[in-house]
Each structure stands twice: as structure tokens, then as C-alpha cells.
């Protein structure tokens, strides 16, 4: 079974060698009790270790079951120890942090035995040695004899063929020694038991064979294995089975599972809880630092991302039909050369700012081909929609919304005349010599529109807004009211809901003009009342009615009865919900307005295009459907005519108080005074705008009577016509143009401080804000002379007051020059071209937008979209269609593009600093792991003795560093989560930003993994040192 042939063992000691065994030759039977006797240092334990595979011989051969071990690898020795050898040591060599049962199970664990079978066999082995009731105790809770029995049970549990006992009774009393010897003798009946002892009495009493060893040589063998023994058993079955087994490879031992390694390491760490905690906490400091930085940076990044997205929803990339390259203009105006200079920095050089600026003004206007660009966006070639939250198209169609209630007459809530008046009056305000551009004013007032189209991205809307009550729009005729975070809306939005009339707002303007204190009306509206609101849509073509006699279409806006029926029969729009910005939203696209969907826009375009008047106009592009006459040919701008009344050559009597009439209309709601230093054609209002509410009521008939008293002939008729138009609640296009012409003539040459010349359209805007009675009072005051300005020419106000009769007589008896008869003029067309006619009808082509608004998801997406637009421009240029290239406006990109990059840079720098502490803590963990290796050296020897490989030892210590790394990471994350509570409270107190520090879940997981990886790396060297330890030396370590 086992044969030692010429075994020599040498130990190098400096320059010399110590020979422990000198050519030992022994052969053992399959089952016998062999005792090896000899003085200390004679080589007994060395011989036992070589037989057990713990130590390797220098020369000779160890033959196991007929197989030489000269070519054995480490794995073969590991398998041999695990399957064929059982060790019993003098000092028991039990693992102290494992229970009795776990100590016995250990060899089976290395053999890959299932958990259930492992436990059953371990309990049976303990019962054999009389410890079946002690399975859950720890070794330090047992006596020496009991611990030695546990060691024997561990040696037997794997059913080895050879049991090696090194001084098994050396640390026991006599009585216990006898018990252990009896147990070994019983085992020797079935197995080969080889015992090393100093006690010859025990050897003589219990052994079947005694071998005496002196200085590495066998001097006596009481029962040697002879040739006769071989011949006697040569033909037996047992020998045949032995020969057959010798021809086979020894079974390979499965490696220790990682979970077994974890269990061993965890139990070891639990015996040193305080040190394990401190080690893990030290390792967690770096993790805490990085986690806090990650929490803050990710929180601020999320905040910046939210601002970016919400900002980009308020300031999208705009592609207008007519555009200006703002980037090129600002670069030109800055005078900064964006590229590298080609001159040394030894002198002062000039650049081309002035010429570049002028060039940008003259050359950066561009007409975009939006039809082609929309086709590209909607095609599979484009990825713009992949990087955009929404792509919004606007068209030339018109949205006319009326209140469905007639309590205040016909009330148009959108477009609001209030906004039209503000655009008209402020579109050319003189600001120290600078004029506010009309397009700029349009952009400003657009933000105050009471009805606004929602972004066509439901997910983004639900992210930015929360539903206060009701639901989101599901149909095209459903809208929502958008309130701000305080549940408030502006008075303009109140008017847009039809809950305030235009006259109410006009009264506020007039009160402010007169310097009076005005207390704005506060509205408190129940949710249910808002959800009950309905409105009516009136299509632009529906304002026109077909005239059977003239075969043309008449504008019916001036017919109140027609308009009332038109509004009554209009398609209904209802409010279905109230939404407000979500708590975490910083900037949203729209607040304080009624929000409608893109579906409503598309519905109106489709319905408009299907109207009969539109079809008729499209069928005959050369004839004006409004008048039935052909469109006029284009004429030079200098020869073009103005509106009909202004071009008719009719002039109002200069003695009529025209400046008073102008003052009554133009500055009615303005807070601006007339220019006292202006030329004689200017005038000054000495007391601002009078409060017409204090004037006595007057009827329309009384006004006409006053006109008849002061005018005659055509002048009287035209004055009456002017008053008639002024008093009408709604005007057709032709009536509007006619009234503007009269007002332009009356206001000609008049200037208002801060506003310059006031146009007829501006004056009309104020008139539309007044109710009928206010207009009548104003006209009465003007006609009666109660409202007259003080001129600043040659005659002062007192002189005018002294001669009223003369002026009055001149008014009563005007010198009228009868004009010569003129031929009846032909009706002037409302539209001068086919395109203008379609525009008047609100016709829009769904394939040809007026503008495109692109809402990028973030700045990175915006850059990608910009690159794609550049590629689009290159492709159309390559195709010879340079005119189809696109220029867009990107205001916000010039402001916030670098914010995200700055935050990232700061985060990277801070993480780099904290990473240093992480590396230092990892080095410390490596040192502590090495200390653990030194402390567990004996355990390493035990594991190697029962068959653990070098890889298994490495795995045990890697498992320990894995646990420490995991605990460090977990402690770091838990500490970070707790620390973010006061950090968020401080940041919220200082900045009002809620929950900025927020550790992302994936970031926490990654940090735990990083902690584990770093500790594993730091434990690689200690674990490798542990695996290379000599098991014999390890077992000798105390």
C-alpha cells in the first residue's frame, strides 16, 4: 500500500546542509498500528510529514498504491492529503473561530460533499469518538481530551486510508491518553495508523509494529513488511484491486468554494469585531468622500440638467422663415478673432470690428426654406427628433377664440386687443434715441399671450407640470389652464379666460395715466368654475359671407347680429384641467396662460382650408374673392397708395379741435406726457388724460347733433362716418382701414413725448379698449371744448380762453369750398396679391411652416442637432441648392453651454483628491490583511494538512478582503446617506434648493464595487504570501 524507497531529506542551513533522513526504506501494510520511536530530532516528525505529503523528500521515492510520487504536482499532493490521509496533531490544531461541527466538516467541504451529507457524516464521526452531543461548541469550550477526539473525528470523517498521529497523547494526562490510544487501536483494525511518540510503554501496549529511528536511520523494525507477505497475498482479490487501482490516477480534489472561503473568513473576522469595524471604517473614509462629492456633483448636475432642459423648452433653437445669424453677428460686434492670430504680441494691432459689424447687419439676413427642412426632419435620414424633446411647427393660420358667454357682449379673448394695443404703442418707443424693434416687441408680447400652444411631448409636460385638478387634454378641443407655483395667473390670462373685459383693463390704464391710485381687482376663482368654462372657435374665413348679388364675399365683422350668431355656432373648446409647475421644476415653458395642443392647431388649419371661400380663392388665384376684381400688379413702393380715406384728398377743417381729438384717443391709456419742447406742431397736455367717468352721459344722437351744428356738407358726413366707425364694437377689414386713414390724417404732425408720432392704428388700439359710453363722453368733451389742449405757439392758453366767441363763430360759419365732381372710384381690393388674400383668410400649408422650434433634450443634444443642421447645409450645397441652407437662432447656447463642463471639472478635481485617501486606506487594508495572514498562519497549516491547495488559501484571504471591502463600501454609502440629510438642510437654507445632495443608486453600487476591488487588490500580496507558506512551518507557528 505505502512504500518509502531510499528516502533522503536535507534542509539547507546557510552554506551547509542538515540531513534529517538518510536513505529510509519502509513498506507498510494496509491495516496495522505502527509506532515510530526515537529521541527528539531523530527525524520522526519529518518522516511522518513526508508520508502525509506535507513535506517533500530530497531524493528517493514514495510509492502510493504502486504509483511513484516523483512526478506529483501540488494538486496531486493536495488530493492525496484530502482523500488518503488523516492528521492528528499533538496540539489538536483546531480552528478556534469554527464550531466543533464546522471543524470536522472542513475536510468534506474541500472534497465537494453536499451540505446535507457533510453534516450527517460529521455528526457520525463525532459520535464515534463520543462527542455527538458537543457539535455546537467552540474548541476553547472543551477539554484537551475532547479536542483531541475532535481532531481524530476530523481525520476520520473523509474515510482516509492512512491515519497519521503526531504525539497524539503528548498534551494529555495518563487517563485520557489511554482513551485516545484505545480509539486509535480500534481504528487500526481497518486502516493504517502511523503514530509518532516518545512513550515506549504506550507503543509496546497498543502497537502492532514499532520502528526505532536514530539520527535519520531506521535501527529497528519489530514487524517489517517481508517478501513472504507479498507472496502470500499476491493472488488475493485485494491485491488485484490494489494493482488495478495503482494503474489509475488519484482522484482530483474539487477546489474550495468561494462561499466556504467567505464562511471561514467571516467567522474569523467576527472573532475580532472591533478591529474589523475599525479597519472597515478606515477603508470607508475614502468612499465617504467620493460618495459625498458624487452626491453633490450628481445633484447639482441633475439641477443643471433640469435647468438646461427647462431653459431649452423656454428658449428653443428657432428656425424662422426669415432669420439672422446671431452668432456671426455677435462675433462681428465683439471684434474678437475666434481663431489664432498671425502676428507676434509685441505691438498693438487693429481688428475689423466696425466693418464686421456692418457686414453682419447687411449680410446675415437669410430666408430659410422651411418646407424642405421640415421634410428632412420628418424623414428617416434625420436624427434630430432623437435628440429633441419636441419639434414644434408654427403656421400662418389664425386662432380666434371668443367667450361663449354674451354677458359683456361679444367678447374676443384671443388674440387679445390688449396685447395688440401694447405692440402698437410700444413697438416704436423712443428710448434715448434707440427704437425698440417691432420683431423684438413681438417676441416680448408673445410671452404675454393668454393662449399658448403646449410643447408636443406629453412625457416632458408631465415631468415639468403636475395636474392640480382635472386631466390633461385628450381631444383637440380640450385645453388646460396653466397657473404658476403660487396658483396665480396674470390679469391678461384672466381676460383670456373671459372673466375680465377689455374695458376693465382700459380703466386701469386710464387711472394710471391720470396719476390716480388704482387698486387692481383680485380674482379668486374656484377650480370647478374654471373647469366649467367653455369657449368658441371662429375660423378666419367665417368672417366673410357670400353676397349673391355681387358674387363676392363681404367682411361681416361690423355686423353685430352676424357676429353673435357666428360665435354661437362656433366649435366649442372646454377647459378640462388645471396644471402648475412641478415642485422640482426651475423654469418651465409656459405659465399664466391657457394651453392648447398641437392637435387644435392642425384642426384649425385643416378646417380653414376646407372653407368655401378658400376653395374659391384657390380655384382663381388671379381674382380677389373679396371684391371680384383682379389683383393689382406690383408697383414701386413710392407709387403705392395708402388707405382709401387718407388718399381721397379730403381734409378735415383745420379749425376743428384736431389736437384735442388726437389727445383723446392716442394717449388715453399712456403714462407719457406730450413734449413741451417740441415744434409748433406738437402740444402739451397740461393735466394728462381726463377722467371721462366724471363727464355727464351723452347719447349718440347728441354727438351727431353737435357735428351738424359745427360742420356742413361732406365734412359733416365724414365726421359722422368717423364717429360711426369709432362707436362700432367690431370692424371689418375695410372699415378698420377706413378709420385708421381718418385717424392718421387727424394725428398727422402730432408728436407725443417718448412715443414720437402716433399712428392711426395705435390710436385705434386705444379706442378698442374703451366701451361705447366712454367713447361718447370723450367725443362730447372734445366737441364742447371742455377737453382742449393748451398750445405752446404764439398764442397761449389765456388768449385762447379770452376769445372763445371768435373761434366759435368761425366754427359755426366755416368757409366751404365745394369740390369739383369726381368720378366714382372703383372699389379697392382688400388684398393686393393672391398670397395676401390667403393670409387674410388664415390659410396655412401644413407642409410649409412659418417657423420651427427645436427643443433639445440637453446641451449635448443641442450640439449634435447643430452638427446635423451643418451636415444638412453641406448636403444641400453639394446638391446645388445653396438657397435651401438653414440658419437658426440659438440664444441660450451662448449663455449656459459651459456651465455643465465647469461642474464636471470641479467634480473631477475633488474626486482626484479624495481618490488619494482611498488609495492610502487601501494600502492600510493591505497591511492589516498581512497582519491577519501572520495571525492565521496555524490555520493555513491546518487547511493545507487536510488537503487545501495554495489557491484555496489565496481564496480564503481574498474572501476576507472581499468582506472588508464590502463592509467598508456599505459603511461609506450608509454614512453618506446620513450625512446628506444635514447637508441638504444647510444647502436648502442657504439657496432654497431642495435635496441637491442625492447619491444615485447606480453610483452607490459602483462605489461599493470599487471598494471591494481596491481591497481585493490590496490583499493580493498578503494572500499570495499566505498561499506560499510551508505547511510544516505553518503548523509549528503558535
CB 664 within 8 A of CB 722: no
In the chain, list all ranges with CATH 3.40.50.300: 2-93+158-252
- Give 98-102 contacts, CB < 8 A, sequence gap 24+: 98/138, 98/139, 98/264, 98/267, 99/135, 99/136, 99/137, 99/138, 100/126, 100/131, 100/134, 100/135, 100/136, 100/137, 100/138, 100/139, 100/142, 100/150, 101/126, 101/135, 101/136, 102/263, 102/267
Residue 854 is placed in which grid cell? 427645436
Beta strand pairing call for 593-596 and 451-453: parallel
Query: Is this prediction's pTM over 0.85?
Result: no
Beta strand pairing call for 162-166 and 85-88: parallel
Q: What is the pLDDT of residue 26?
A: 92
Contacts of 64 (CB under 8 A, 6+ apart): 1, 2, 80, 84, 250
Rg (CA), the chain: 52
CB 37 within 8 A of CB 72: no
CB 38 within 8 A of CB 150: no
Sort residue 304 into left (φ over 0), alpha (ψ -120 to 50) or beta: alpha
- The domain made up of 2-93+158-252 has a fold known as Rossmann fold (3.40.50)
Query: Cβ of 1004: how many Cβ atoms within 10 Å?
Result: 21
The candidate with the shortest Cα–Cα distance to 970, out of 191, 72, 283, is 283
Residue 772 is placed in which grid cell? 361705447
Q: What is the pLDDT of residue 41?
A: 86
Q: What is the pLDDT of residue 571?
A: 94
Low-confidence ranges of the chain (pLDDT < 50): 237, 243-244, 246-250, 427-443, 636-688, 754, 787-814, 816
For the stretch 823-874, pLDDT in tens is 555 556 677 888 888 888 989 888 889 899 998 888 788 889 999 999 999 9
**Alpha-carbon 184 to chain mean position:** 73
Amino acid at each position: 500500500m505505502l512504500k518509502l524507497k531510499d528516502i533522503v531529506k536535507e534542509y539547507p542551513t546557510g552554506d551547509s546542509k542538515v540531513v534529517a533522513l538518510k536513505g529510509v526504506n519502509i513498506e507498510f501494510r494496509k491495516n496495522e498500528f505502527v509506532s515510530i520511536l526515537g529521541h527528539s530530532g531523530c527525524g520522526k516528525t519529518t518522516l511522518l510529514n513526508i508520508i502525509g505529503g506535507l513535506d517533500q523528500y530530497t531524493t528517493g521515492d514514495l510509492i502510493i498504491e504502486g504509483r511513484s510520487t516523483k512526478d506529483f504536482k501540488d494538486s496531486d499532493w493536495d488530493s492525496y492529503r484530502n482523500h488518503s490521509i488523516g492528521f492528528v496533531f499533538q496540539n489538536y490544531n483546531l480552528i478556534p473561530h469554527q464550531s466543533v461541527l464546522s471543524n470536522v466538516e472542513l475536510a468534506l467541504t474541500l472534497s465537494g460533499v453536499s451540505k446535507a451529507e457533510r453534516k450527517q457524516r460529521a455528526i457520525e464521526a463525532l459520535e464515534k469518538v463520543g462527542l455527538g452531543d458537543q457539535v455546537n461548541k467552540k474548541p476553547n469550550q472543551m477539554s484537551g481530551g475532547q479536542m483531541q477526539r475532535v481532531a481524530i473525528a476530523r481525520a476520520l470523517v473523509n474515510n482516509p486510508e492512512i491515519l497519521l498521529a503526531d504525539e497524539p497523547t503528548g498534551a494529555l494526562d495518563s487517563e485520557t491518553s489511554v482513551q485516545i490510544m484505545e480509539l486509535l487501536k480500534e481504528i487500526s483494525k481497518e486502516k493504517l495508523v502511523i503514530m509518532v511518540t516518545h512513550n515506549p510503554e504506550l507503543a509496546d501496549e497498543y502497537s502492532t509494529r514499532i520502528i526505532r529511528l536514530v539520527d535519520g536511520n531506521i535501527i529497528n523494525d519489530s514487524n517489517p513488511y517481508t517478501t513472504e507477505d507479498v507472496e502470500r497475498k499476491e493472488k488475493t482479490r485485494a491485491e488485484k484491486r490494489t494493482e488495478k487501482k495503482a494503474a489509475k490516477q488519484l482522484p482530483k480534489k474539487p477546489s474550495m468554494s468561494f462561499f466556504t472561503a467567505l464562511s471561514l473568513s467571516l467567522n474569523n473576522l467576527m472573532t475580532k469585531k472591533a478591529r474589523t469595524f475599525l479597519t472597515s471604517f478606515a477603508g470607508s473614509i475614502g468612499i465617504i468622500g467620493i460618495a459625498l462629492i458624487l452626491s453633490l456633483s450628481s445633484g447639482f448636475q441633475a439641477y443643471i440638467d433640469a435647468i438646461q432642459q427647462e431653459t431649452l423648452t423656454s428658449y428653443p433653437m428657432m428656425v424662422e422663415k426669415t432669420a439672422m445669424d446671431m452668432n456671426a453677428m455677435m462675433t462681428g460686434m465683439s471684434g474678437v478673432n475666434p481663431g489664432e492670430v498671425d502676428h507676434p504680441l509685441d505691438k498693438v494691432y487693429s481688428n475689423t470690428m466696425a466693418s464686421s459689424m456692418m457686414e453682419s447687419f447687411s449680410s446675415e439676413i437669410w430666408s430659410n426654406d422651411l418646407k424642405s427642412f421640415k421634410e428632412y426632419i420628418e424623414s428617416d435620414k434625420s436624427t434630430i427628433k432623437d435628440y429633441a424633446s419636441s419639434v414644434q411647427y408654427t403656421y400662418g393660420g389664425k386662432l380666434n377664440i371668443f367667450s361663449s358667454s354674451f354677458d359683456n357682449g361679444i367678447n374676443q379673448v384671443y388674440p387679445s386687443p390688449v396685447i395688440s394695443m401694447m405692440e402698437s404703442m410700444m413697438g416704436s418707443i423712443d428710448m434715448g434715441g434707440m427704437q425698440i424693434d417691432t420683431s423684438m416687441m413681438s417676441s416680448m408680447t408673445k410671452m404675454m399671450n393668454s393662449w399658448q400652444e403646449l410643447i408636443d411631448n406629453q412625457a416632458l409636460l408631465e415631468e415639468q407640470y403636475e395636474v392640480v385638478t382635472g386631466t390633461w387634454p385628450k381631444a383637440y378641443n380640450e385645453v388646460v389652464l396653466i397657473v404658476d407655483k403660487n396658483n396665480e395667473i396674470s390679469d391678461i390670462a384672466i381676460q383670456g379666460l373671459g372673466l375680465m373685459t377689455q374695458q376693465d383693463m382700459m380703466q386701469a390704464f386710464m387711472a394710471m395715466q391720470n396719476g390716480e391710485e388704482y387698486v387692481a381687482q383680485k380674482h379668486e376663482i374656484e377650480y370647478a368654475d374654471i373647469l366649467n368654462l367653455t369657449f368658441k372657435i371662429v375660423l378666419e374665413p367665417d368672417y366673410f359671407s357670400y353676397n349673391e348679388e355681387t358674387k363676392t364675399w363681404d367682411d361681416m365683422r361690423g355686423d353685430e347680429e352676424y357676429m353673435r350668431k357666428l360665435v354661437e355656432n362656433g366649435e366649442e373648446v372646454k377647459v378640462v384641467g388645471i396644471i402648475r409647475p412641478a415642485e422640482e421644476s426651475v423654469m418651465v415653458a409656459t405659465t399664466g396662460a391657457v394651453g392648447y395642443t398641437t392637435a387644435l392647431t392642425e384642426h384649425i388649419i385643416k378646417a380653414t382650408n376646407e372653407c368655401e371661400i378658400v376653395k374659391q380663392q384657390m380655384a382663381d388665384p388671379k381674382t380677389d374673392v373679396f371684391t371680384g376684381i383682379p389683383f393689382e400688379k406690383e408697383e414701386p413702393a413710392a407709387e403705392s397708395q395708402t388707405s382709401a380715406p387718407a388718399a381721397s384728398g379730403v381734409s378735415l377743417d383745420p379749425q376743428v379741435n384736431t389736437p384735442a381729438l388726437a389727445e383723446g384717443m392716442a394717449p388715453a391709456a399712456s403714462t407719457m406726457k406730450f413734449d413741451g419742447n417740441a415744434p409748433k406742431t406738437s402740444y402739451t397736455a397740461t393735466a394728462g388724460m381726463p377722467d371721462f367717468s366724471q363727464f355727464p352721459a351723452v347719447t349718440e344722437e347728441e354727438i351727431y347733433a353737435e357735428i351738424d351744428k359745427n360742420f356742413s356738407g361732406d365734412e359733416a358726413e365724414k365726421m359722422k362716418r368717423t364717429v360711426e366707425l369709432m362707436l362700432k364694437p367690431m370692424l371689418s377689414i375695410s372699415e378698420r382701414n377706413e378709420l385708421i386713414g381718418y385717424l392718421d390724417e387727424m394725428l398727422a404732425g402730432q408728436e407725443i413725448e417718448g412715443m414720437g408720432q402716433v399712428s392711426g392704428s395705435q390710436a385705434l388700439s386705444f379706442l378698442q379698449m374703451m366701451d361705447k359710453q366712454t367713447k361718447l363722453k370723450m367725443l362730447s368733451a372734445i366737441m364742447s371744448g371742455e377737453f382742449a389742449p393748451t398750445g405752446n405757439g404764439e398764442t397761449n392758453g389765456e388768449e385762447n380762453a379770452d376769445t372763445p366767441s371768435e373761434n366759435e363763430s368761425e366754427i359755426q360759419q366755416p368757409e366751404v369750398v365745394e369740390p369739383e365732381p369726381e368720378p366714382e372710384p372703383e372699389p379697392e381690393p382688400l388684398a393686393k396679391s393672391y398670397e395676401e388674400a390667403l393670409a387674410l383668410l388664415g390659410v396655412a400649408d401644413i407642409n410649409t411652416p412659418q417657423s420651427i422650434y427645436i427643443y433639445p433634450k440637453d446641451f449635448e443634444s443641442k450640439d449634435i442637432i447643430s452638427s446635423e443642421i451643418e451636415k444638412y447645409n453641406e448636403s444641400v450645397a453639394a446638391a446645388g441648392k445653396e438657397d435651401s441652407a438653414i440658419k437658426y437662432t440659438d440664444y441660450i447656447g451662448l449663455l449656459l453651454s459651459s456651465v455643465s463642463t465647469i461642474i464636471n471639472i470641479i467634480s473631477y478635481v475633488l474626486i482626484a483628491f479624495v481618490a488619494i485617501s482611498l488609495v492610502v486606506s487601501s494600502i492600510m487594508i493591505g497591511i492589516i490583511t498581512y497582519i491577519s495572514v501572520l495571525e492565521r498562519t496555524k490555520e493555513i497549516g491546518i487547511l493545507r494538512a487536510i488537503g487545501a491547495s495554495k489557491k484555496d488559501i489565496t481564496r480564503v484571504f481574498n474572501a476576507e478582503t472581499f468582506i472588508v471591502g464590502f463592509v467598508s463600501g456599505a459603511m461609506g454609502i450608509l454614512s453618506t446617506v446620513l450625512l446628506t440629510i444635514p447637508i441638504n438642510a444647510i444647502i436648502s437654507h442657504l439657496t432654497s434648493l431642495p435635496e441637491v445632495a442625492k447619491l444615485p443608486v447606480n453610483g452607490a453600487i459602483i462605489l461599493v464595487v470599487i471598494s471591494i476591488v481596491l481591497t481585493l487588490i490590496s490583499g493580493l500580496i498578503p494572500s499570495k504570501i499566505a498561499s506560499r507558506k510551508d505547511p510544516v512551518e505553518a503548523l509549528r507557528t503558535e
